[in-house]
Structure 1
Amino acid sequence: MAMKATLEQIAEVRASHPFRGAIKEVSLGNGYVIQTRDQDSDGQVAWNSLVCTEVSGRKEPDWLRDGNVIFSARGSRNLASVITDIAKPTVCSPHFFVMEVLDSSQVLPSFLAWQLNQPKLQKYFHQCAEGSAQVSIRKTELEKAPLTIPPLAQQRMVMELVERALKEKQIHQRLIELRQQEIEAVARELLK
């Protein structure tokens, strides 16, 4: 049976790395940074486009780990992404919150990220967003987000379905790109 909970009951929410000013690209920097532009509309992170920079501060950076969920709290898109197979030292820009599931035997991080991206919660975030020029979600509002936590087996089934749908979408997108290239090749040949 599904359990009702708030986000703060199932995950610790913390601020991301506190960059001061613009994030500058440093080719021999010590880490990478996820910015809102690196997150697509499906919540996938474009790992190959991350900026390498010098991540510094008063203490050791709080590097992202597998299983973390990141949430874009500023701007018109409030999307969550799960971090998996992280291969390089990475932090998030200050536009994000980072979440760590308290008990992964109760909640899959991928399921949490997926649920945060669903229309019901997107409506909740839209209603509690503040600001006019640059809207944002406060940490306290994020922590109060109402969640439904089904049994782990159901979470796994949902995530398998989500993965298959995402793969299908990527295949269809690739087919569309190939068809466009084919049309452009015909046009080049025909209109020389």
Structure 2
Amino acid sequence: MEIKLKEIAEIQFGYYGKPSENGTLAYLQAKHFNEFGQFTEEIDAFLVDDDKTKTQLLQNDDILFVAKGFRFFAALYKKEIGNAVASSIFYILRVDQTRVIPEYLVSVLNLPKNKAYFQQSASGSSIPSIRKSELEDFTFNLLSIEEQRKVVALQELYFKDIKITETLIDEKKKLFQSTILKIIN
């Protein structure tokens, strides 16, 4: 069933703040996620925990969608990251979880054809950005919850496979380097 994003999600802007050396709240930015929208666990920006920032705290399963710059992608916030606030480079999507699994929507938003759509929709003379109305009107195929679960399971297997492949490449590099060192020494 074709559906518009605004029919299943509330969309709000991220928070514009100035990172502080005394901050304790993680201030998530695009650089904290890899090309697959996965959290890299390398937080280096923090905000002061005050009344203003407390109202901006992310909730578990919020979807962060980068809507400014040259790298559009979606990422899923999980509470395991710790208390965090999304920067203004993001739109925050809170979905109706009775209709859509957040991980499924992240998969849909990160499809190459949809990233290309957002690239074409972006406006701005120096830094491309997507208007909220364009994101709200984004149309996609909403599968049944059962089918969404299958897509999510397939995505999880894909990410595990990539991680195993990266580990294998790292081990091959180490083996190659140690072999070369043995030969030269």
Q: What's 1:37 paired with? A: 31
Alpha-carbon offset, residue 182 of structure 1: 1.1
Q: Distance in 2 between matches of 1:14 and 1:43?
A: 19
Aligned residues: 185
Picking from 151, 161, 169, the partner of 1:176 is 169
Consecutive aligned runs of 4 or more in structure 1 exceeding 3 Å deviation: 55-61
Picking from 139, 149, 157, the partner of 1:146 is 139
Conserved? CA contact 2:15–2:85, under 8 Å:
yes
TM-score computed with the length of structure 1 as normaliser: 0.89
Aligned AA (1:142): L
Question: What's the secondary structure of 1:107's corresponding residue?
Answer: coil
Change (3 A) 1:146 1:188: same
Name the Cα RMSD after superposition.
Answer: 1.7
Q: What's 2:179 paired with? A: 186
Of all paired residues, the percent bearing the same amino acid is 26
Question: What's the secondary structure of 2:54's corresponding residue?
Answer: coil
Q: What's 2:57 paired with? A: 63
Alpha-carbon offset, residue 75 of structure 1: 1.2
Deviations 1:39-77 (A, max 9, x none): 111110112434333255646331111110000111111
In structure 1, runs of 5+ residues without a counterpart are none
Conserved? CA contact 2:26–2:43, under 8 Å:
no
Change (3 A) 1:85 1:59: closer
Change (3 A) 1:86 1:116: same
Q: Distance in 2 between matches of 1:55 and 1:115?
A: 33
In structure 2, runs of 5+ residues without a counterpart are none
Q: Does 1:77 align with 2:75?
A: no
